[in-house]
Amino acid sequence: MSQLTDDCFAFGGKLIPVADALARFREILHPIVEQERVPLGAALGRILAQDIVATRSVPPHDNSAVDGYAVYFDDLATDADTVLPVAATVAAGHPLDSSQRRGTAIRIFTGAPMPLGEDGDAPDTVMMQEDCRAEGDRVVIPPGIKRGANRRFAGEDISEGTRILEAGIRLRPQDIGLAAATGLTELPVFKPLRVAIFSTGDEIRDPGADAPSGTVYDSNRHTLAALLRGLGCEIADMGILPDRLDGIRDGLAKAAAEADMILTSGGVSSGGEDHVKAAVEAQGSLHSWRLAIKPGRPVALGQVGKTPFVGLPGNPVAVMVTFLRVARPLIEQLSGARPHAPELFPVRAAFDYKKKIDRREYVRVMLRRNGDGALEAEKFEREGAGVLSSMVAADGLVELPESCTRVKAGDIVDYLPFSEVGL
């Protein structure tokens, strides 16, 4: 389970741009999970471990796209009706055992294999039944069809030998369907990444426990567990650790032994009771801990022994934002997923906002249509990093880049819908 090299780099007290911190941390991370094969029914959301090459073409044979009549285009008059005898019927799943002859039509149904012709001279066109008139055992075909109409070619969807799925994708319903179409019954996937999580803070209590004055319920661990489950991770839940250096150190050591990665919240700012940083440094190394991101400046990236460690801040909104923009790409990488940056969409800001230069900010917004039908981002009114209800009300985040210092209503801004990141 070796996942980090020992080369580490110390950062001073200045704020590190998010992209730099991520890029440097990513360089020393490798996918650490093993592979297994799972049946298609258990593959949804798993990360594909190997490229998949089609061993059969889809469709496997030329076939009809409609219910109608297979004909030779050259048999049809271009300016008058053509009357052809109907020589046979072919249904899906039941190929004809005889060949079609010129000057005949064959009744054919959607998906049925195109009849073969004599000496390779096969029918090339299918007339839709609504366009023809059946008269006993003959069919009357009007002019105007195009050569090759309504005929589907073998392999026009997938041709045997082509790569249909790329290693590193998170399997979606359509990926699983495509694998099934080529006859596969199972897929090679990476085993789930096991992530240890804990919360820190003397004031934090588990929901359900006594919560005397001065305490708050632990929302972060539950948010994080759900976010991790959404990424297909297994969770080693280490509970809540009090603000004591020795306890956090022991907790980290246990987490490093049990999991592929450690994710915590709280205890990473510079306060006297924030021991997480010191505990990580005592048994590993801290690569960076002050990112130029709001909310969430105190994010710690490091390793405990060789186990990657991500320490998110305590404030519940900061937890979510830094998870999405910092922890998530690292988790994807460790899980074997190929890099995939979520798409940001241009929308019009319906708010004014001032910000400091040189840090990246995320503004919680609701998406609305204005009078012209254009999409606008409306800012959630309260900004605190502890206002978790804002994340419930919002539809997504507006990302303001480091260089931006203000937003005026009407400006086009980059919008990250929660749906892009599985929320």
Ligand X SMILES: Nc1nc2c(c(=O)[nH]1)N[C@H]1C(S)=C(S)[C@@H](COP(=O)(O)OP(=O)(O)OC[C@H]3O[C@@H](n4cnc5c(N)ncnc54)[C@H](O)[C@@H]3O)O[C@H]1N2
Binding positions for ligand X, rule: CB under 6 A: 199, 201, 203-204, 216, 218-221, 265-271, 274, 297-298, 313-316, 318, 385-386
Please report how close the Cβ of residue 273 comes to ligand X at its closest, in angstroms: 7
- E-state strands within 223-359: 234-241, 261-265, 284-288, 293-294, 300-304, 307-312, 345-349, 353-354
Q: Which C-beta is closer to ligand X: that of 222 or that of 338?
A: 222
CA dihedral 169, 171, 174, 175 (to 10 degrees): 60
Q: Which C-beta is closer to ligand X: that of 318 or that of 330?
A: 318
Q: Which C-beta is closer to ligand X: that of 134 or that of 216?
A: 216
Task: List the single partner that 268 binds among ligand MOO, ligand X, none, CB under 5 to 8 Å by kind.
Answer: ligand X
Please report how close the Cβ of residue 343 comes to ligand X at its closest, in angstroms: 27
* Interacting residues with ligand MOO (CB under 6 A): 294-298, 313, 315, 318, 385
What whole-number distance in Å separates Cα of residue 116 and Cα of residue 99? Answer: 5
Q: Which C-beta is closer to ligand MOO: that of 21 or that of 127?
A: 21
Q: Are 403 and 344 in contact (CB under 8 A)?
A: no
Please report how close the Cβ of residue 348 comes to ligand X at its closest, in angstroms: 29
Task: List the single partner that 89 binds among ligand X, ligand MOO, none, CB under 5 to 8 Å by kind.
Answer: none
The single residue listed with the structure tokens 């940056």 is: 341
Q: Which C-beta is closer to ligand MOO: that of 179 or that of 394?
A: 394
For residue 31, what is the enclosing H or E element?
none
Q: Which C-beta is closer to ligand X: that of 47 or that of 299?
A: 299
Task: List the single partner that 203 binds among ligand X, ligand MOO, none, CB under 5 to 8 Å by kind.
Answer: ligand X
Please report how close the Cβ of residue 391 comes to ligand MOO at its closest, in angstroms: 12
What whole-number distance in Å separates Cα of residue 188 and Cα of residue 257? Answer: 27
Distance of CA 57 to the CA centre of its chain: 27
Please report how close the Cβ of residue 110 comes to ligand X at its closest, in angstroms: 57
Nearest residue to ligand X by CB is: 314
What whole-number distance in Å separates Cα of residue 147 and Cα of residue 149? Answer: 6
Please report how close the Cβ of residue 206 comes to ligand X at its closest, in angstroms: 10
The single residue listed with the structure tokens 């650790």 is: 241
CA dihedral 247, 253, 256, 257 (to 10 degrees): -120
Q: Are 252 and 262 in contact (CB under 8 A)?
A: yes
Please report how close the Cβ of residue 322 comes to ligand X at its closest, in angstroms: 9
Q: What is the DSSP code (8-state) at residue 325?
A: I
Q: Are 38 and 186 in contact (CB under 8 A)?
A: yes
What whole-number distance in Å separates Cα of residue 329 and Cα of residue 339? Answer: 7
**Under DSSP, is residue 340 helix (H, G, I), strand (E, B) or coil?**
coil
Tokens standing for 194?
Answer: 């096991």
Q: Which C-beta is closer to ligand MOO: that of 236 or that of 301?
A: 301
The rounded radius of gyration (Å) of the Cα atoms in the chain is: 30
Please report how close the Cβ of residue 252 comes to ligand MOO at its closest, in angstroms: 21
Q: Which C-beta is closer to ligand X: that of 141 or that of 240?
A: 240
Task: List the single partner that 152 binds among ligand MOO, ligand X, none, CB under 5 to 8 Å by kind.
Answer: none
